[in-house]
């Protein structure tokens, strides 16, 4: 979960936190609020009382992952759709993965960075091979960025969200310094599959 779902701990009895706790109507302890990115209202998660069963780590993880969405991850209807999208403006971050559905860390990172980067996940299938060869992608999994000047920048490290986030921040900084920042805003992701 590290780097996929951010967590914040608040101590309501601490002198600085009572206004925060009152604002969010926190009266029982412990209380867990979960927020979808961009939403101001929490989804309350029931915390069992002492005589009920306790929530397991798996239940908490599943609830948190349930807040993730792949709405900012492009899926392709055809290879021509994929090529058109990949040749479009902005830096594109593409994950080539052996299977569907979209992986949780890609969902999370796309929700955080969709205003500055475009995201896609390509499943390695026989019909996607020509596209992968065209972009010089030979191994699965591969995470790569395709820049506005058509350079491919492969992510070199382990596929762990905190490390990938640092890499994405570097891509965004490079885009800003080259004047590409903001090119993604207002572009909508279509759905389908490659």
Whether the per-residue pLDDT at 157 is higher than 60: the answer is yes
Q: pLDDT tens digit string along 86-134?
A: 888 899 999 999 988 888 899 989 988 999 999 999 988 888 888 889 8
Phi-psi region of 66 (alpha: psi -120 to 50; beta: other; left: phi over 0): alpha
Token pair recorded at residue 55: 């929530």
* pLDDT reported for residue 39: 64
Token pair recorded at residue 86: 């990949």
- Give the contacts of 15 (CB within 8 A, at least 6 positions apart): none
Beta strands in 17-103 (DSSP E): 32-34, 43-45, 73-74, 92-97
The bridge status of strand 118-123 relative to strand 152-154 is unpaired
Whether the per-residue pLDDT at 59 is higher than 70: the answer is yes
Whether the per-residue pLDDT at 136 is higher than 80: the answer is yes
Provide the residue ranges of all domains of the chain, joining segments of one domain with +.
18-65, 73-178
Q: What span, in angstroms and rounded, lies between the C-alpha atoms of 82 and 76? A: 6
Q: Which residue has the higher pLDDT, 38 or 192?
A: 38
Could you tell me if 135 and 35 are in contact, meaning their C-beta atoms sit under 8 angstroms apart? Answer: no
> Of the CATH numbers 3.40.250.10, 3.40.30.10, 3.90.1150.10, 3.30.1380.20, which one belongs to the domain with range 73-178?
3.40.30.10
Q: pLDDT tens digit string along 11-51?
A: 777 656 667 777 777 777 767 777 766 566 666 555 554 44
Residue 73 phi, psi dihedral angles, 5° rounding: -110, 120
* pLDDT reported for residue 15: 55
118: β partners: 92
- Give the contacts of 133 (CB within 8 A, at least 6 positions apart): none
Neighbours of 24 (CB within 10 A): 15
Whether the per-residue pLDDT at 190 is higher than 50: the answer is no
Sign of CA dihedral 107, 150, 83, 175: positive
Q: What span, in angstroms and rounded, lies between the C-alpha atoms of 21 and 80? A: 52
User: Above pLDDT 70, what percent of the chain?
Assistant: 76
The residue-averaged pLDDT of 79-89 equals: 87
User: Above pLDDT 90, what percent of the chain?
Assistant: 28
Token pair recorded at residue 12: 């309501």
């Amino acid at each position: 979960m590290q780097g996929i779902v951010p967590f914040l701990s608040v101590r309501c009895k601490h002198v600085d936190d009572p206004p925060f706790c009152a604002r969010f109507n926190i009266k029982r302890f412990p209380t867990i609020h979960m927020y979808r990115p961009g939403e101001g209202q929490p989804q309350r998660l029931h915390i069992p009382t002492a005589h009920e069963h306790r929530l397991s780590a798996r239940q908490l993880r599943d609830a948190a992952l349930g807040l993730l969405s792949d709405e900012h991850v492009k899926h392709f209807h055809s290879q021509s759709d994929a090529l058109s999208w990949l040749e479009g403006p902005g830096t594109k971050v593409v994950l080539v993965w052996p299977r569907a559905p979209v992986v949780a860390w890609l969902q999370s990172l796309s929700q955080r960075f969709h205003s500055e980067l475009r995201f896609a996940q390509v499943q390695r299938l026989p019909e996607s091979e020509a596209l992968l060869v065209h972009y010089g992608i030979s191994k699965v999994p591969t995470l790569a960025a395709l820049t506005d000047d058509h350079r491919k920048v492969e992510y070199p490290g382990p596929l762990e969200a905190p490390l990938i986030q640092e890499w994405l921040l570097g891509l965004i900084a490079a885009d800003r310094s080259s004047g590409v920042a903001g090119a993604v805003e207002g572009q909508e992701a279509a759905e389908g599959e490659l």
